[in-house]
Amino acid sequence: MVSYDELHDPNAEYTMRELSAETMGVTGERGGNRDVEITDVQTTMVDGNFPWTLVRVYTDAGIVGTGEAYWGAGAPELIERMKPFVIGENPLDIDRMTEHLVQKMSGEGSIGGVTVTAISGIEVALHDLAGKILGVPAYQLLGGKYRDKVRVYCDCHTADEADPIACADEAERVVDELGYDALKFDLDVPSGHEKDRANRHLRGIEIDHKVSIVEAVTERVGSRADVAFDCHWTFSGGSAKRLAEALEPYDVWWLEDPVPPENHDVQREVTQSTSTPIGVGENVYRKHGQRRLIENQAVDIIAPDMPKVGGMRETRKIADLADMYYIPVAMHNVASPIATMGSAHVGAAIPNSLAVEYHSYELGWWEDLVEEDVIEDGYIEIPEKPGLGVTLDMDVVEEKMVDGETLFDEA
């Protein structure tokens, strides 16, 4: 353990803000099988419909935890950078270790962006690992469960996403043939009437086109499915208000990200101007980033992306804050089965879970990445096996790796 003088010496290796086990004096024996140390952290990227970053955390007990960071450049490099900060730590100290990484990586921007994403990947792996060490499913680490299965909403696409009839046909197919009762379609698709998309302004004829998509889809599936529509932060505040108002006669589950994510004052104005439910949150980081959206009631539905926002416990903390304002949680998710199951465990453990997204229904081998079944009839049944309850199929991982990646070293 470092001394008081070392803690307060600005030139020393340690600072008062560090939360490593050595600095904090977390050295006591725990007994049972809980005296475990992390020995290694490895990543590999799988070429799915996104380049998924899979994370493995190894221990001296021979137990390995698997996690996933949100896709994107830089996450594997940042995880490699963080490896010295977790080796030797006890993987059961998930909260302290995650905060330790946030503090150690502050210079790399750990209040948002890919640094938080990289930390999230390790954090998810720690939940899988801790569950295996303790012999409990991951949801138990989050406080237990409210439900045995979590609803899944299917993000849908067509060859011509601007064609209302094509969208309605696909909605009907996904409901009737694939068994989903919750869907999402993109609404930021070209109408053919744009003059200048950079200014974010919607002309009346463009709004009419978007209304025609919503009308066709919602009328086709009727009460058999809930349908959300995604705008991907595309429109100005005024245009978003006009669009949301035009959609009020239709049964829209939520209108997602109608304005850019930075200005929460504008987001609040849009949300409070309409009876169309507004969902936001995938491009906001950690509970601190979500706080104003929730406290100012700038959202009707909060939509954090678990392996992007800070991990499983961070998502739980966001959900708890949202629950104080009676706001449901619909987790954004474009992940492999690993983080998808991690999101499902969170969804099981929080009272205000609405649904978890599934973005890979067109990828025929998505579920082959793990040995277990994941989605059945539009729901994820929460496993009772220790940890996340899914096991990587290493043959599929090796077959689908991004070019230049190497397989995990199981030794």
Instruction: Compute the distance between CA of residue 363 and CA of residue 280 in angstroms, rounded to an integer.
Output: 26
Exposure string for 109-119, b = 16+ CB within 10 A, e = fewer: ebebebbbbbb
pLDDT tens digits along 133-165: 999 999 999 999 999 999 999 999 999 999 999
Average per-residue pLDDT for the chain: 93
pLDDT tens digits along 211-258: 999 999 999 999 999 999 999 999 999 999 999 999 999 999 999 999
Among positive and negative, which fits the CA dihedral 315, 65, 373, 120? positive
Give the pLDDT band (50/70/90) at residue 2: very low
Structure confidence at residue 144 (pLDDT): 98
Helices (H), 87-189: 94-104, 114-134, 138-141, 164-176
Give the pLDDT band (50/70/90) at residue 8: very low
Kind and range of the H or E run holding 217 = helix 204-221
Which pairing describes strands 278-280 and 301-302: parallel, antiparallel, or unpaired?
parallel
Does the pTM of the predicted model rise above 0.85? yes
The one-letter amino acid code at 164 reads P
Beta-bridge partners for 227? 183
Give the pLDDT band (50/70/90) at residue 30: confident
Structure confidence at residue 337 (pLDDT): 98
pLDDT tens digits along 300-356: 999 999 999 999 999 999 999 999 999 999 999 999 999 999 999 999 999 999 999
Answer yes or no: is pLDDT of 4 > 90. no
Angle 191-194-200 from CA coordinates, rounded to 5°: 105
pLDDT tens digits along 281-306: 999 999 999 999 999 999 999 999 99
Structure confidence at residue 223 (pLDDT): 96
Q: Collapsing DSSP states into helix, strand and coil, what is residue 184?
A: strand
Half-sphere exposure of residue 243: CA atoms within 13 angstroms, side-chain side: 36
Q: Spell out the domains of the chain, with CATH numbers in brackets.
A: 4-136 (3.30.390.10), 141-383 (3.20.20.120)
Mean pLDDT of 65-84: 96
- Among residues 162, 164, 225, the alpha carbon closest in space to that of 355 is found at 225
More confident residue, 199 or 1: 199
Structure confidence at residue 410 (pLDDT): 74
Mean pLDDT of 183-212: 94
Q: How far apart are the first and last CA of the chain?
A: 31
Structure confidence at residue 26 (pLDDT): 67
